Structure 1
Amino acid sequence: MSIPVKGKDVGKSIKNEQKKSRIVYNLDTPFTATEWPAIEQNHQTTILQLLENLLDPIGQYRAVHLESSKGKRAKHADRKRKREDAEQSSDIDLIIPDKPEIAPYVTVGLNATTNALEQLTRATAPLALNRNTDRKLNQTNEKPRNSLQLQTGTSEAPLQAVFVCRADGQPSQLHAHLPLMCVMASTSEHTVFLIQLPKGAEGKLSERLAVPRVGFLGLKKGAPGAEVLYEYIGKHIPAVRRPGWLEKTGEYIGIKPKALHTIAGTQRPKGGNKTTNQKAS
């Protein structure tokens, strides 16, 4: 004698049959493995405080002399008001002071910081790697990238520290390249430190710099007023560890296939849900 099965139980059994296990193969490679320096929480907090004090003049300058976007209508009204004020006081010269001395030594944002690391990597790379690129640049009378001056006291100085607000919910895809780039940009005479800031640092830096968001920030060598910060970093922050495959020159490192067990997604039958269509009609 057959036992009747309820409609819900039949639906569950069908779904369980449709969820079939399968094996997906992935290739493991050492070239994508990244390792961040281990930094204690108290050191992160101290570095953030020193960094805030260093960047404070930039935020004050932006708050006084630069205006944030308020929309198109507000821009048009503001331009009209400025033209009227200029006509009334045309004989008064407005003098805007220069940017703070620290400003040229700071890179704000992922693109600016990554570009600075790329230039430094090109400057420290072997000459053979740069030969083809420099030949093309010479044909167009452009300045070679590897002519970056690794000296102190100029805005063209190399990056010495990269600060990342990694704990504030950043996707790993944004900062996964930074450890390796800091390693490639470092030499025996110059180290580029990679520093993870504590949670909440993004909001504090944004307030200090008077910008909407600051997830990445770079500080160049010889930045005025950064002596105490650099001294603290040199004492308490380790350098980025070089990946093992960089040390094994001339040795082949094979790929490692990984077998991952997963469940295939549920496939809908062709023609849609007939029962639902009949009820709707």
Structure 2
Amino acid sequence: MAATARKGTKPIFKTTRPYTETNWPTLTAQQNRDVTDLVCSVLQPLGDHRRTHVLPSKGKKRKRESQRKNNEDADKNAPSNPTPPPDISNHILIGLNSVTRHLESLAAHAAPPSAPSHAKADPPSPDATPPRPLSIVLIPHNHPPASLPHAHIPTLVHLCTMTSQKDKATRLLAVPPGCEPVIAEALHIPHVGALGIFEGAPGADALVAYVRENVDVTRCAWIEEAIGPEWKGTRIQDK
């Protein structure tokens, strides 16, 4: 926040947080295109299946009778032996809510006990099965920390990777918003708010290798600073 005043009346001060800002890994324009192409190649089989076997939604009906009739017609037209979706469908998360919930579960298992309690979910029971690790989290936004719906994602990813080996740590990708319609088209869905790809996803080896080679691990230095014993006061700069 900043306090402003007219010249010659009161001094101007700028107040900033005492902790280090999160450094966000960025890609070049060519790397963004490469990542988008690789992501689409992984997701395309699922999108093709949806085009062929999933009936598009026509929206909610006001009358219950109309809804019942539509359901009956859909049951009659449904094939007796539907084709199962491709394997990749069991190895991805689609949507900001789904990705957030899984990252919270991962953070609860991976983050140290001294991590800020407001930045992670409730700790799991000792006998709980650890969640499946994510190799990639993709956000269609240039700078998620500056976006209110996405601002929590870097913190959660960092908490998930605090005890991980660097070569196996989850990579966080921020692609330009213009890439989102291309990815949504590959999935044959209207919108992709976030995408998570599990470790070991079939057909994703080339994508994961490319990302791990070109994208560094996301680090939120303020978490380590908050865990440390050193007290940090508010920074006030005289402008």
How far is the alpha carbon of 1:68 from its aligned partner? 2.7
Q: How does 1:1-281 map to 2 (within 5 A)?
A: 27-30=15-18, 33-73=21-61, 79-80=68-69, 83=72, 94-126=80-112, 144=125, 147-149=128-130, 156-167=131-142, 172-186=147-161, 187-189=163-165, 190-244=168-222, 246-247=224-225, 249-257=228-236
The CA distance in 2 between the partners of 1:168 and 1:63, in whole Å, is 32
CA contact (8 A) 2:18 2:235 kept: no
CA distance in 1 between counterparts of 2:17 and 2:236 reads: 9
Q: Answer yes or no: is the 8 Å Cα contact 2:172–2:218 preserved in 1.
A: yes
After the TM superposition, which of the residue ranges 228-237 and 240-249 deviates more from structure 2? Answer: 240-249
Distance 1:249 1:37 in 2: 25
**Residues 25-78 of structure 1: per-residue CA shift (max 9 Å, x gap):** 775324583321122221111111010010012112222232232134499657
TM-score, normalised to structure 2, is: 0.76
Instruction: State the shift of 1:82 in Å.
Output: 6.0
User: Take 1:106 and 1:221, find their aligned partners in 2: how far apart are those partners?
Assistant: 9
Question: Which residue identity is paired with 1:172?
Answer: S
Highest Rg: 1 or 2? 1
Cα displacement (A) at 1:128: 7.7
CA contact (8 A) 2:145 2:152 kept: no
Gaps of 5+ in 1: 1-19, 135-142, 150-155, 261-281
Count of residue pairs the alignment pairs up: 222
Map Cα deviations across residues 121-141 of structure 1 (whole Å, 9 max, x no partner): 0111236889xx56xxxxxxx
Q: TM (normalized to structure 1)?
A: 0.66
The SS at the match of 1:174 is coil
2-structure distance, mates of 1:184, 1:146: 21
In terms of mean alpha carbon deviation, does 21-30 or 190-199 score higher? 21-30
Contact 1:202 1:214 (8 Å CA) reproduced: yes
Post-superposition Cα deviations, 1:242-278, rounded to whole Å, max 9, x if no partner, equal: 4155157211111224689xxxxxxxxxxxxxxxxxx
Alpha-carbon distance in 2 for matches of 1:222, 1:213: 25
Counterpart AA for 1:69: S
Q: String of CA shifts for 1:95-118, please: whole Å, max 9, x gaps.
A: 122222111211111111111111
CA contact (8 A) 2:140 2:176 kept: yes
Q: Give the CA RMSD over aligned residues.
A: 3.6
TM-aligned CA distance change 1:244 to 1:82, over 3 Å: closer
